[in-house]
Amino acid sequence: MPTIGGTALLNARRVGHREAVVTADRRWTWGELDVAIGDVAAKLQNLGLKKGDRLAILSTNSPEFIIALNAASRLGGIVVPVNTRLAAPELAHILADSGTSVLAFAPNEIDLATSAADPHHGVVLAALGPNAEHPDLMAGGERNPVHDDRATESDDAFILYTSGTTGKPKGSLMDHHRAVWAAMSQIVSLGLRDGDRYLHLAPMYHSGGVTFLNATTLLGGTHIVVPKFDPRSVLEMVERFSATWLFGVPTMYQQLLRLDDARSRDTSSWRVGVFGAAPMPPVAVETLLTTFPGVEFFQQCGQTEAGPTGIYSTMEQVRSQPDSSGHVAQPFMEARVVDSDGADTVPGSIGELIFRGEAVTKGYWRQPDATAETIRDGWLHTGDLMHISDDGAMRLVDRLKDVIISGGRNVYSAEVEQAIAQHDDVADVAVIGRPDLEWGATVVAVVTAVEGSDLTEAAVRQHCRSRIADFKIPREVIFGVVPRNATGKLQKQVLRKAIV
C-alpha cells in the first residue's frame, strides 16, 4: 500500500503533466510539485527533521501547506496540522503535547508562531515563504533534493487534534495505513474518479480537510486552492477551474444559496457535493437539490478519531430523509448504535454510535487512559447519540455529554436546537443546561437573530410550543453570538463557562 508522500512521488511519474495545484494566479503540474516537495524535504532534513519527528503546519489553505505536508511525509515525519485561529496558549499546548520539532508557518502567522513556540523546548521555526528572521522553506535551490519515500505503511503519519469542544484537545494518531484507508473510504463512497478536481473550502488543517486532501492526491487529481471561504467566489472558482467536487459545512452551503447568481453560474463540471460536521436544516437540503440539480449530494457524519470517516447518506437517501445524519457505514468501516450495556438498539430508540474499521485511530497521542476509555473491544465510542428509524436511517439527537437532565427527564439539546432553527428569524442557536438545585438543570437557548429582526424570547418560546414537549422548551433565551470553531462545531464549553 502506498504512503501519503509516496503517492505524490508516484503521481509525478504516472501523471506528471497533469495539474496538481492551481490557485487564482499560480499552477503546478505533478512533475513540478514533485520538484518543490523534494526541495522542501531537503530543507526540513537540514533543519534536523527526521523519521518520527513532528512537523506542525500553521497556515490557511495554500499550495505551501500541501508541499510541506508531502515533504515531511517523504522524510517519514509526522504532520501536525494546527488551526490558525488558535490563541497562543492553545497553540503552545499542541506544540508541547505533540513534541513538535519544526513549526512551519505562513509568513502572515509569524506573530502567533513566535508567541506560541518555546525555543527552550527545541521548536525550530521555518517560514512557508519569504521571512527576514527564519529560514524560508520555499526559497528553492537545495543541492540534494529528496526524491525517495522514506516512510512505510506502518509508520505514523499524522497527529490530528480534536476540536477541544469538551476540554483540552487530544491528538488522534494516524499511521499511513489508516490515512490511506480513510482517503480510500471517501473515494469509494463518493464515487470519485482518477483526476478529479477538488475545490478546498474546508480548512486543510482540519481532519476532514486533511483526508480530502489525501484523497485528491491518491487520485492524481487537482487541488484547487483558495486561502479562505468566500461564498461569492466559490461558484466563480467552480466555473473557472472546472471543479468536480467539494466539501462544505452546512453554513457554507446556506451562504451559497443566498447568492443572486447561484443558478446562473456554469457549474456543469461540479459532480459531487459533500456536507457534514453539523446538521443541515431539511429546508436547506431541499433548496440545495433544486438549485444545483446536476450535483450528487452526500451527507456524512464522522469523527476525527475515525479518520475522519463514519456514516453517510447517498443522494437518494438525502432526498428522502434530509434530516438524517447517515444511513450506512462508509466502505471499510462498521457502524453500530448501542445502549449503555453495549447491545444493539432497536428501531425507534436512541443509543451511542460506535465505529470499527481500517481508518480508526491508533489512539490518542501519549494518552493511554483516554485511548482505553474511547476504544473498547476494538470499537471507537463516538459519544454521538443516534435515533434509528425503521429503515435504518440514523439521526443525531445529541452528544452524550450534552444531554440535559431536567427534573429526571432527558432533554436532547440537538432536538431543541433543530426546533428553534426552523424559525425564520434565527440565524444560529445553541442549547445548554444551567445547573439548578431543584431541577438538576434547566434548558437555556443562546440565539443569534437574523440581522434586523425583532425576535424576542417570547416569540422563540411560542415557536417551540408546537414542535417540542413543554419540558424541553428553554426556560431562558439569551441573544448573542453562538461560538463555533473553524469547522463549524458548536463550542458549548464556552457558553457553559459564560452562564455559570
449 and 370 belong to one structural domain: no
Q: How many residues does the chain have?
A: 500
149 and 262 belong to one structural domain: yes
338 and 442 belong to one structural domain: no
DSSP labels, 321-360: -TT-SBSEEPTTEEEEEE-TTSPBPPTT-EEEEEEEETTS
pLDDT tens for 275-290 read 986 667 788 888 999 9
The answer to whether position 292 is within a domain reads yes
308 and 421 belong to one structural domain: no
19 and 43 belong to one structural domain: yes
135 and 165 belong to one structural domain: yes
The answer to whether position 398 is within a domain reads no
The answer to whether position 285 is within a domain reads yes
The answer to whether position 394 is within a domain reads no
464 and 381 belong to one structural domain: no
The answer to whether position 332 is within a domain reads yes
Residue finishing a domain among 388, 421, 449: 388
pTM: predicted TM-score of the whole model, two decimal places: 0.87
267 and 337 belong to one structural domain: yes
The answer to whether position 166 is within a domain reads yes
The domain that contains 163 carries what CATH number? 3.40.50.12780
Instruction: Count up the domains in the chain and report the number.
Output: 2
- The residue ranges of the chain whose pLDDT is under 70 are 120, 163-167, 277-279, 486-488, 500
The answer to whether position 252 is within a domain reads yes
pLDDT at 169: 85
Q: Would you tell me how many other CB atoms lie within 10 Å of the CB of residue 300?
A: 22
Cβ proximity of 310 and 323 under 8 Å: no
381 and 462 belong to one structural domain: no
374 and 410 belong to one structural domain: no
- Name the H helices within 171-230: 176-190, 207-218
106 and 177 belong to one structural domain: yes
Structural domain containing residue 442: 403-499
Distance between CA 194 and CA 208 in Å, rounded? Answer: 20
The answer to whether position 495 is within a domain reads yes
pLDDT tens for 425-478 read 999 999 999 988 778 889 999 999 999 999 999 999 999 998 888 889 999 999
Task: Report which of 184, 160, 139 is spatially closest to residue 40, judged by C-alpha positions.
Answer: 139
Residue finishing a domain among 388, 417, 433: 388
Residue finishing a domain among 362, 388, 414: 388
Q: What is the CA radius of gyration of the chain?
A: 23
Q: What percent of the chain has pLDDT over 70?
A: 97
418 and 276 belong to one structural domain: no
pLDDT tens for 484-493 read 876 667 888 8
